[in-house]
Structure 1
Amino acid sequence: MTLTLVIIFAALLIIGFPVVFALAISAFGAVLIQGKYPVVVVVKEMFTGLDSFPLMAVPFFVLAAELMTGGAMTAVLLRFAAQFFGRVRGGLGYANVFSSAMFAGISGSALADAAGPGAMMMKMMEKEGYPRSYAAALTASASVVGPIIPPSITMIIYAMQDESVSVGRLFMAGILPGLLICVIYAGVNLIQSHRFGWRGQTPVPPPSVFMMNTLKALPALMLIVFVIGGIRAGFFTPTEASVVAVFYALLCGMFIYRTLKLSALPGILLASAVTSGAILMILASARAFAWVLIIERMPQAAAAWIVALDLSPIIFLLLVNVMLLIFGCFMDPLPGVMILVPILAPIAHSMGIDPTHFAIVVIVNLTLGLVTPPVGSLLFVVSSVGRISVPQILSQMPAFLIANILILVILTYVPAVSTWLPRASGM
Structure 2
Amino acid sequence: MAEILFPALFILLALGLPVAFAMMIAVFVALTFGSSYPHLVVVKEMFSGLDSFPLLAVPFFILAAEIMTGGAVTMALLRLAQSLVGHLRGGLGHANVVSSAMFAGISGSALADAAGPGSMMIRMMEKGGYDRPYAGALTIASAVVGPIIPPSITMIIYAMQDQQVSVGSLFMAGVLPGVLITFMVLLANAYVSRKRGYVSGDSMPTLLEIGRIFVFALPALSLILLIVGGIRFGVFTPTEASVIAVFYALIVGMFVYRSLKLRDLPGILLKAAMTSGAVLLILGAARAFAWVLIIEGIPQQLAGTIISWELSPIVFLLAVNLLLLAFGLFMDPLPGVMILVPILAPISFALGIDPNHFAIIVIVNLTLGLTTPPVGSLIFVVSSTVHLKPSTLIRELPPFFLALAAALLLITFVPSLSTWLPAVSGF
1:365 paired with 2:365, answer yes
The CA distance in 1 between the partners of 2:196 and 2:4, in whole Å, is 51
Q: Deviations over 1:352-396 (max 9, x none)?
A: 111111000000000011001111000000011112221111111
- The answer for the alignment partner of 1:152 in structure 2 is 152
1:132 paired with 2:132, answer yes
1:293 paired with 2:293, answer yes
2:133–2:393 Cα contact (<8 Å) kept: yes
1:186 paired with 2:186, answer yes
1:70–1:268 Cα contact (<8 Å) kept: no
Residue 39 of structure 1 and its aligned partner are, at CA, apart by: 1.3
- The answer for the alignment partner of 2:396 in structure 1 is 396
1:355 paired with 2:358, answer no
- The answer for the alignment partner of 1:319 in structure 2 is 319
The CA distance in 2 between the partners of 1:382 and 1:130, in whole Å, is 16
Residue 210 of structure 1 and its aligned partner are, at CA, apart by: 3.2
1:75-114 correspondence to structure 2 within 5 Å: 75-114=75-114
Residue 204 of structure 1 and its aligned partner are, at CA, apart by: 3.6
2:67–2:268 Cα contact (<8 Å) kept: yes
4+ aligned runs moved over 6 Å, structure 1: none
| Number of residue pairs aligned between Structure 1 and Structure 2 | 427
The CA distance in 2 between the partners of 1:36 and 1:157, in whole Å, is 31
> One-letter code of the match for 1:217?
A
> One-letter code of the match for 2:144?
V
1:303 paired with 2:307, answer no
2:55–2:157 Cα contact (<8 Å) kept: yes
Q: Secondary structure at the match of 1:12?
A: helix
2:109–2:153 Cα contact (<8 Å) kept: yes
The CA distance in 2 between the partners of 1:410 and 1:53, in whole Å, is 35
1:136–1:383 Cα contact (<8 Å) kept: yes
Q: Secondary structure at the match of 2:85?
A: coil
Residue 259 of structure 1 and its aligned partner are, at CA, apart by: 1.2
1:184-263 correspondence to structure 2 within 5 Å: 184-205=184-205, 209-263=209-263
Q: Deviations over 1:263-312 (max 9, x none)?
A: 00000000100000000000000100010001111110001111121211
The CA distance in 2 between the partners of 1:16 and 1:256, in whole Å, is 44
The CA distance in 2 between the partners of 1:216 and 1:84, in whole Å, is 14
> One-letter code of the match for 1:139?
T
The CA distance in 1 between the partners of 2:118 and 2:261, in whole Å, is 24
The CA distance in 2 between the partners of 1:57 and 1:184, in whole Å, is 30
Q: Deviations over 1:213-240 (max 9, x none)?
A: 2111000000000000000010000000
Residue 71 of structure 1 and its aligned partner are, at CA, apart by: 5.8
CA distance 1:292–1:88, shift in 2 (3 Å): same
> One-letter code of the match for 2:396?
Q
1:333 paired with 2:333, answer yes
Structure 2: which 5+ residue stretches go unaligned?
Answer: none
Q: Secondary structure at the match of 1:369?
A: helix
Q: Which moved more, 1:108-117 or 1:30-39?
A: 30-39
Q: Secondary structure at the match of 1:72?
A: helix
> One-letter code of the match for 2:179?
L
The CA distance in 2 between the partners of 1:196 and 1:14, in whole Å, is 37
1:71–1:253 Cα contact (<8 Å) kept: no
> One-letter code of the match for 2:58?
V
The CA distance in 1 between the partners of 2:85 and 2:106, in whole Å, is 22
Q: Deviations over 1:107-138 (max 9, x none)?
A: 00000110110000011111111111111111
Q: Secondary structure at the match of 1:52?
A: coil
> One-letter code of the match for 2:379?
L
The CA distance in 2 between the partners of 1:261 and 1:205, in whole Å, is 33
Structure 1: which 5+ residue stretches go unaligned?
Answer: none
The CA distance in 2 between the partners of 1:65 and 1:22, in whole Å, is 28
The CA distance in 2 between the partners of 1:125 and 1:71, in whole Å, is 18
> One-letter code of the match for 2:5?
L
Residue 205 of structure 1 and its aligned partner are, at CA, apart by: 4.3
TM-score normalized by structure 2? 0.98
- The answer for the alignment partner of 2:161 in structure 1 is 161
- The answer for the alignment partner of 2:268 in structure 1 is 268
The CA distance in 1 between the partners of 2:417 and 2:117, in whole Å, is 27
> One-letter code of the match for 1:238?
P
Residue 207 of structure 1 and its aligned partner are, at CA, apart by: 5.3
Residue 35 of structure 1 and its aligned partner are, at CA, apart by: 3.0
The CA distance in 1 between the partners of 2:198 and 2:295, in whole Å, is 56
The CA distance in 2 between the partners of 1:392 and 1:182, in whole Å, is 23
Residue 65 of structure 1 and its aligned partner are, at CA, apart by: 0.4
2:86–2:94 Cα contact (<8 Å) kept: no
The CA distance in 2 between the partners of 1:181 and 1:257, in whole Å, is 30
- RMSD, aligned CA: 1.1
Residue 25 of structure 1 and its aligned partner are, at CA, apart by: 0.7
Sequence identity (%): 62
The CA distance in 1 between the partners of 2:129 and 2:87, in whole Å, is 13
> One-letter code of the match for 1:353?
I
The CA distance in 1 between the partners of 2:87 and 2:176, in whole Å, is 28
CA distance 1:409–1:364, shift in 2 (3 Å): same
> One-letter code of the match for 1:37?
Y
Q: Secondary structure at the match of 2:364?
A: helix
